[in-house]
Amino acid sequence: MARDPKYDILFEPIKIGPKTLRNRFYQVPHCIGAGSDKPGFQAAHRSIKAEGGWGGINTEYCSIHPESDDTHRVSARIWDDGDIRNLSAMTEHIHKHGSLAGVEMWYGASHAPCMESRCTPRGPSQYASEFEMQTYCHEMDQDDINEVQQFYVEAAKRSRDAGFDIIYVYGGHSYLPLQFLSPYYNKRTDKYGGSIENRARFWVETLEKVKNAVGDDCAIATRFACDTLYGEDSIEIERDGLKFVELADPFIDLWDVNIGDIAEWGEDAGPSRFYQQGHQLTWQKFVKTVSKKPVLGVGRFTDPEKMTEVIRSGQLDIIGAARPSISDPFLPNKIDEGRVDDVRVCIGCNVCISRWEIGGPPFICTQNATAGEEYRRGWHPEKFPKAGSEDSILVVGAGPSGGECARVLMERGYTVHLVDQAEKIGGYVNDVATLPGLGEWSYHRDYRETQLEKLVKKNKNSQIALSAKPLTVDDCLEYGADKVVIATGSSWNTDGTNAATHDPIPGIDASLPTHVTPEQIFAGKKEIGKNVVILNYDPYYMAPSLAEKLAGDGHDVTVVSAAPFGHYMHFTLEAPNMHRRMHEMHVNILGDTAASRAEANRLEIYDVYGDGSVREYRGPGKLPRNENKTHRWIEFDTLVLVTGRHSNDELYRGLKARKDEWKDNGIKDVYVIGDAWAPKLIADATFEGHRLAREIEEKRAQYPKPYRREVATWGAPHMPGGEYEIEYQN
C-alpha cells in the first residue's frame, strides 16, 4: 500500500546546516549500553534504524574526555583514535542507507563520577551533584574554561573524522553547558556568571568554537533543556530559555529541545504511567517562535497523526524519538508504506532506560525483542529465516511469551496452533493494563494480536484457538504437533511464599475471603474491605499499582513492604511521581517491614532489622543474633498478597513425566518459555518466546545458543599501533 498523502509532510527533506535530513524522523541520542566498546552492537542497532527509514540517527551521550566518565553507566567515548575506529563502524553503516549520523558530545561535570578514569570533573562552581551526591566538581577558572572548550573542539574534529554528520554540544539533562546557564549550579561572579548573557557565555562560546572547527563539514546541534521545571531558580522557557535560544541561534544548525534535569529525567523520558505522547510540547513549542533554525523534540511520538499535527502547527520541524525508534526501528517505513497498523508501538514502560540506570547491562525492549540483539544474535526486527522444517508446532498460552513465539514461528512459515483459555490474546498483559496508568501497556498485546490475525490467514493449517478448553497432558500428547511449546505463565503465590524466607507465611491463605492475590483482585469476585493491607515482597510495580488502584477506589491502604517499595521504578524513572501519588493518596508505607504470620483479619509484622546487630556463634539450634522482638499485630479487612510468583508449569512437568510417550505420538520435543519457565519481566518473557522461535531447529532449543561477544581482545591494542603487553614504569 502507498503512503497516506496526509503524512507527506513527514517525508519532506529539511536542510540542517551543510547537511540535508531526508525526512522528519530523527532518532535523538539515547543510551543502549554499546558505547564505543561494543562497536558491532552500536553499528547494527543504529543502522537498522537507518534501514527502517529514520533520517537521522545519533549515538548515546558521547564523552569528550576522561574527565567526563560515567562508569558504571555506559556512554560512548570519542577520546582517541581507538574510539574513532570503533564509532566509524556506526557512521559507515548508517550512511549506506542514506541517513545522517550524529554524535552527542558530552561533558558531565559532577554528574559523572569518573569511577574508571579517576579524574576530577570541572564545573562552573563547586557543588555536589544532586544526582551523584558523593561527587563534587572543581570550580573552573578562565584557564580551565579555555581548556574544557578545547576538549569540545578536539572531540568535534575526531567526530568529523569518524564520519559524523551532526555534532552536538549536549546541554540537556543538566550537563555542563546547562550548568553554566542555570543559576541553580552557576554561582560565579565573573563574566560567566550573573546575567543571562554571562551565564550563556560558556555554551555560546563553545558552540562558536566547534562551529569554526567543523561547521563547514558538519551540522552543529545542541540539546537544550529549555525548562528545568524548578521555577525561577533555574531555567524557565519564557525567561532564560528563550533568551538563550536567541543568543545561541546564530551558531546552531539544529535545536534538539526537551525539558527537565538529570536527577529526575523521567520528566523528559516520561513513562506512559504519567505522561502521554507529546507531553513536552507546551514548553518545546516556544522555541520556534524565536529560532530561525530547525527545531526537533521528543515526546514518545508514535502516532503519525500526532506527528503531522505537531509539524503542521509549527510546534516542531522534526520528530525526535528515542523509545519509539527502539520499539519499532521501521516506524518511518511502515508509515511510508501505508502500514501504520503494523507499527510496534512503544508502551512507555521505560524498561529500556532501566538498564542504563542500573549501569552496565545492555538495554532491552518490552515490545521489540530484537532490540540490542541485532549484532550479537543477528536478529533483524522485520526479517526472519525461513522455516527449517515442515514441523507443526502447538503453542499453549497466548501471553507475552507464547504470543511472540507463535508470531515469529508464523513469520518463519511454520504451521502453528496457538491455544489459550482466555478470549483474548495477551495473557497477563490483559490484567496488568487495567492497573492505573498502565493502559498503554496493552499495545504489547495489540501488536501481537494484529500480527497474529494477519499471519494466521497466510497458512490455512495454522490456527488461533481462543476461549479454548484447557489442554491436558493427554490433549497435548494426542494433538498431532511435532513440537509443543508451553507458555502457561505464572501466578501470584496464595500462601505468602516470598523472596525473603522462601517459605509460606503461616496463616496466609488466599482461599480465605479476606486474603486476596492480585489475580483475585483482577477477577473482581472477592469483596475488598475498607481497611486494606498490602503485603509486599516484590520490588516492581504491582504493590504501588494496587495501592493506587485501591486508594483510588476509596480504601484506606497500608503497605507492609519487606522489599524496597517500587524499587525497580527508580530505574524506569517512574519512582518520583509514584511516590508523589502515594503521598497524595495517603497510602501509608511501612518500609523494611515483613510479616511473620496472619489470621483472617490481622497480620503480625516486624522490623526486618529488629534482630541484634552483634553476630556470634552460639552453638547448634541457636541463631547468631539476638532475637527480633519488634513483632506486633496490625488489623485489616482485606490483606493483599504481593509476596511472590510461581510458574504455572503443571502441563510442562506432566509432559516431561511422559517423555517416553512423545515418540509414539509424533512429538519431537517440548519446550517451556516465559513465566512458565520462571517468572520474569514482560520484556524477558517476550524475548524468550522470540528466541525459541528463531532457534527451534537447534538440537537443544530450550537453551539459548551462544551469542557473539564483543570484548577487549588480548593482543589487539585499543589504540591503533599501540602496545598491549604488560608494561611497568621504570
Partner 1 sequence: MKILVAIKQVAILDDEFEMLDDGRDVDHDFCDYEINEWDDYSLEEALLIKERSNSESEVVVLTVGPEQSEDELRKCLAKGADRGIRVWDDAIEGSDQVAIARIIACVVEKEAPDMVFLGVQASDHAFAQTGMTVAAMLGWPHAAVVSSLDYNSGDNHATLKRELEAGLEEEIAIDCPAVLSIQLGINEPRYASLRGIKQAAAKPVEDLSHTDLGLNDNDVGEAGSVSRIRKMYIPERGHAELIEGTSAEQAKRLAEIIKEFRGV
Positive or negative, the CA dihedral 263, 269, 271, 275 is: positive
468 binds partner 1 (CB under 8 A): yes
- When binding is defined by CB under 8 A, the residue of 64, 148, 394, 398 that contacts partner 1 is 394
Say whether residue 461 binds partner 1 (CB under 8 A): yes
> Please, are residues 644 and 498 in contact by the beta-carbon 8 Å criterion?
yes
Q: Shortest distance, CB of residue 333 to partner 1, whole angstroms?
A: 20
Stretch that binds partner 1, among 185-193, 363-371, 478-486, 625-633 (CB under 8 A): 478-486
Pick the piece of the chain touching partner 1 (CB under 8 A) from 274-282, 455-463, 609-617, 656-664. Answer: 455-463
Considering only residues 213 to 242 of the shown chain, the ones binding partner 1 according to CB under 8 A are none
Nearest distance from residue 673's CB to partner 1, in Å?
Answer: 19
Phi/psi region, residue 141 (left: phi>0; alpha: psi -120 to 50; beta: rest), is beta
Radius of gyration of the chain (CA): 28
For residue 511 the three cell numbers come to 482461599
| Beta carbon nearer to partner 1, 334 or 515 | 334
Tell me the three cell numbers of residue 192.
Answer: 560567566
Q: Which of 13, 314, 385, 480 binds partner 1 (CB under 8 A)?
A: 480
Name residue 609's amino acid.
Answer: Y
- Give the shortest CB-582-to-partner 1 separation in angstroms: 39
Burial class (CB in 10 A: 0-12, 13-18, 19+), 549: middle
Q: Does 305 bind partner 1 (CB under 8 A)?
A: no
Binding track, positions 402-441, relative to partner 1; x by CB under 8 A: -------------x-x-x----------------------
Shortest Cβ 469–partner 1 spacing (Å): 8
Of 464 and 603, the one with the shorter C-beta distance to partner 1 is: 464
Output DSSP code: residue 721: T
Cell 503521598 locates to 583
- Residue 460 binds partner 1, judged by CB under 8 A: yes
Which among 216, 197, 203, 196 has a CA at the least distance from the CA of 177?
A: 203
Q: Considering the complex, what minimum distance in angstroms separates the CB of residue 415 from partner 1?
A: 7
Q: Indicate the SS3 state at residue 228.
A: coil
Select the residue interacting with partner 1 from 229, 465, 473, 590 (CB under 8 A). Answer: 465
Grid cell listed for 451: 500480527
- Cβ 7 to partner 1 shortest distance, Å: 17
Whose Cβ is closer to partner 1: residue 319's or residue 452's?
452
Q: Please, which residues bridge with residue 556 across strands? A: 531
For partner 1, the closer of residues 468 and 587 by Cβ is 468
Distance CA 448, CA 408 (A): 10
Yes or no: say if 63 and 74 are a contact pair by the CB < 8 Å rule: no
Q: Which stretch binds partner 1 (CB under 8 A): 28-36, 215-223, 437-445, 462-470?
A: 462-470
Instruction: Using DSSP bridges, classify how beta strands 515-516 and 638-642 pair: parallel, antiparallel or unpaired.
Output: parallel
Q: How far is the CB of 444 from partner 1 (least distance, A)?
A: 23
Query: Could you give the string, one character per residue 255-294, with x where binding to partner 1 holds by CB under 8 A and - elsewhere?
Result: ----------------------------------------
* 663 near partner 1 (CB under 8 A): no
Q: Does 463 bind partner 1 (CB under 8 A)?
A: yes
Encoded one letter per residue, x for contact with partner 1 by CB under 8 A and - for no contact, window 127-156 reads ------------------------------
Nearest to 76 by CA among 23, 38, 20: 38
Q: Of 474, 478, 503, 584, which lies in the binding site for partner 1, with binding defined by CB under 8 A?
A: 478
Q: How far is CA 126 from the centre of its chain?
A: 32
CB of 392 to partner 1, least distance (A): 5
Which of residues 465 and 500 has its CB atom nearest to partner 1 in the complex? 465
Q: Which stretch binds partner 1 (CB under 8 A): 181-189, 317-325, 456-464, 652-660?
A: 456-464
Q: Which is nearer to partner 1, 74 or 468 (CB)?
A: 468
Report if residue 313 touches partner 1, rule: CB under 8 A. no
Q: For the CB of residue 418, give the shortest distance to partner 1 in the complex, in Å.
A: 10
Contact between 481 and partner 1 by CB under 8 A: the answer reads yes
Q: Which of 136, 184, 479, 662 binds partner 1 (CB under 8 A)?
A: 479
For strands 588-591 and 556-561, give the pairing: parallel
Q: Is 457 in the site for partner 1 (CB under 8 A)?
A: yes
- Kindly indicate which of the ranges 56-64, 309-317, 401-409, 477-485 contains the residues binding partner 1, using the contact rule CB under 8 A: 477-485
Q: What is the DSSP string of 221-249?
A: EEEEEEE-SSGGGS--IIIIIHHHHHHHG
Angle (CA) 208-214-220 rounded to 5° is: 60
Least Cβ distance, residue 468 to partner 1 (angstroms): 6
**Strand pairing category for 19-21 and 14-16:** antiparallel
Our finding on whether 250 is near partner 1 (CB under 8 A) is no
Residues near partner 1 (CB under 8 A), total? 15
Per-residue H/E/C for 62-109 = EECCCCCCCCCCCCEECCCHHHHHHHHHHHHHHHCCCCEEEEEEECCH
Helix (H) / strand (E) containing 170: strand 166-171
Q: Of 71 and 459, which has the nearer Cβ to partner 1? A: 459
Q: Report the relative pairing of strands 76-77 and 415-419 from DSSP bridges.
A: unpaired
In terms of CB distance, is 316 or 393 closer to partner 1?
Answer: 393
Q: Which of 7, 168, 175, 375 is catalytic?
A: 175
The reply to whether 662 sits near partner 1 by the rule CB under 8 A is: no
Residue 268 Cβ vs partner 1, minimum distance, rounded to whole Å: 33
Nearest CB to partner 1, comparing residues 219 and 468: 468
Cβ proximity to partner 1, 152 vs 447, nearer residue: 447
Task: Tell whether residue 470 is a contact of partner 1 (CB under 8 A).
Answer: no
Give the three-state DSSP class for 265: helix
| CA dist 664 → 415, 482, 485, 697 (Å) | 21, 11, 18, 20
In the region spanning residues 635 to 654, those forming contacts with partner 1, defined by CB under 8 A, are none
Query: Helices 142-161 & 81-95, crossing angle to 10 degrees?
Result: 50
Q: How far is the CB of 476 from partner 1 (least distance, A)?
A: 10
C-alpha cell at 321: 524519538
User: Quick one: 652 exposed, middle or buried, by C-beta within 10 A (0-12, 13-18, 19+)?
Assistant: buried
Among the listed ranges 196-204, 476-484, 486-494, 708-716, the one in contact with partner 1 (CB under 8 A) is 476-484
314 is an interface residue for partner 1 by CB under 8 A:
no
- Partner residues linked to 532 by β-bridges: 557, 638
Nine cell digits for residue 277? 505522547
Q: Give CA–CA dist 644/632, Å, rounded.
A: 23
Handedness of CA 147, 148, 153, 157 (dihedral sign): positive
SS3 722: coil
**What gap in Å lies between CA 50 and CA 43, rounded to an integer?**
11
- Cα(430)–Cα(468) distance, integer angstroms: 17
φ/ψ bin of 308: left (φ > 0), alpha (ψ from -120 to 50), beta (otherwise): alpha
For partner 1, which stretch binds (CB under 8 A), given 71-79, 149-157, 165-173, 453-461?
453-461
Instruction: Tell me if residue 447 is catalytic.
Output: no
Contact 471, 396 (CB under 8 A): yes
Closest contact distance (angstroms) between CB of 166 and partner 1 is 39
Residues catalogued as catalytic: 175
Interface residues with partner 1 (CB under 8 A) are 392, 394, 415, 417, 419, 457, 460-461, 463, 465, 468, 478-481
